[in-house]
Amino acid sequence: MIRLQHFAHSRLSWGLLFFSGLVLEIAALYFQYYMDYAPCVMCIYIRVAVLGIMISALIGAVNPKFWLLRFAGMLGWIISAVWGAKLAFELNEMQVNPSPFSTCSFFPEFPEFMPLDEWLPQIFSPTGMCGESVWSFLSISMVQWMIIGFVVYCFVWLLMLLPALTPKRN
């Protein structure tokens, strides 16, 4: 428990969280631009959830010894991970059980104060269809890998919750 506390109160833990999100974002761009797989609007929303985890990690890394920043980072982390898992489950349902009545939009619906698709269309503009599953590894589709990833983020969050929110002991 004490080792987890020291780890949760260090920049290394928050840096690893940020790095894991960065790897996922780079992988998404690799699939989009190198493998030529067009992301759907739900894929774009999943990218935003991963971006939320990365931003939360940066908040926690600013001063991991200050409980308020750790709390804000932890809160953003779990909100982003749960939202990402929800999106991935919905997209998986569209791909596994296709229905003409269950489709996604062609255009992202970002808030007016944050039109990510206009600011960075190369990253946040969808060009594909939600029902298409274009890649798999070990018979697990890309969106199913994202479900696994978000569940792991939630599990690690649960593991780190108590150590991160308790005062550090020497």
Find the catalytic residue in 3, 43, 70, 169. Answer: 43
3-state secondary structure 90-149: HHHHHHHCCECCECCCCCCCCCCCCCHHHHCHHHHCCCCCCCCCCCEECCEEHHHHHHHH
Q: Which member of 11, 47, 70, 154 is catalytic?
A: 47
State yes or no: is 169 an active-site residue: no
Indicate if 43 belongs to the active site.
yes
**Which residue in the block uniquely carries the two structure tokens 């908040």?**
59
Residue 165 to residue 158: CA distance in whole angstroms = 11
Q: Which of 40, 70, 154, 169 is catalytic?
A: 40
Q: Which two tokens stand for residue 100?
A: 């003409």
Distance CA 60, CA 161 (A): 13
Identify any residues that bridge with 102 across adjacent strands, giving them in sequence order: 99
Query: Catalytic residue at 70?
Result: no
Query: Of the residues 3, 70, 104, 169, which is catalytic?
Result: 104
Name the catalytic one among 3, 11, 70, 130: 130
Active site residues: 40, 43, 47, 104, 130
